[in-house]
Structure 1
Amino acid sequence: MHILPRGILILAVCFGVAGCGSTWSTSNVQKSGYDPKVNASAAAPVRAPTPVAQILVTEGDITDRKYRVLGDINVNVNKTTIFNADPTRADVDAKLREEAYKLRADAVILVRYGSVGIALMSWGALDGKGRAVVYED
């Protein structure tokens, strides 16, 4: 007789714990042949990476300065449960900045957003793609 109340209690705890997380994400980076650490000349000083918060993320191209392509970045931001808010473009931009920082990029250009919808392990998702670039001095 006590099995039904325990089952309800277990379900309530599961939903409560599942509601604690808001999103999770995945990413994929396809690097170009250029590596700023390897391709820098011995005489050229190695500059510090651009801080994550200062990495430019834009849907357009950069036309006012030269840059070198480091690689293409694909990210996917998923919501954890049906009760969480849907991922936003700002969430995708933040993930793109994180991945660009790992490449020592200054910007992510030509960004495109797309909805993935509901999947086996996600109640909703938003993906983003862009090209990581480093400015040439």
Structure 2
Amino acid sequence: MVRTPSHLTVVVLAQAGGPLVRVAGTIDRETAPRLADALRQPWASRSAPPAVRVDLAAVAFCDSSGLNVLLDADRQARDRGSTLQLENVPDQLRRLLAVTGTDEVLTLHSGPPSGGSVRPAPPTVEGG
């Protein structure tokens, strides 16, 4: 059996209401640490943003490793009086959240990421 390497791209964008994290590719045991690193960044500073939005529209697959990263980021957000908002959650991930009951814990939005001025903000984590 030939294993196809996992690819994940994570881009953090600064927006007025807080960062928007755009995620594309596969979130699994191999790539989950990259997502975790990107999701720790907004709370690394002393002033936590009111919300961090995660656009998952381009995620092809997410396993339990990715789910644990999202749950950990949600916990970090709540600990700092912030929220983690998942946007454009793909069907496969919605099923995973429903089966595990974590759709009752995490904040999901069905619409597209809210508009506003978008500008790239360092640092950007990319990989593949």
The answer to whether the superposition gives a TM-score over 0.5 is no
Which structure features the higher share of helix residues? 2
Q: Which has the larger radius of gyration?
A: 1
Provide TM-score, normalisation by structure 2. Answer: 0.29
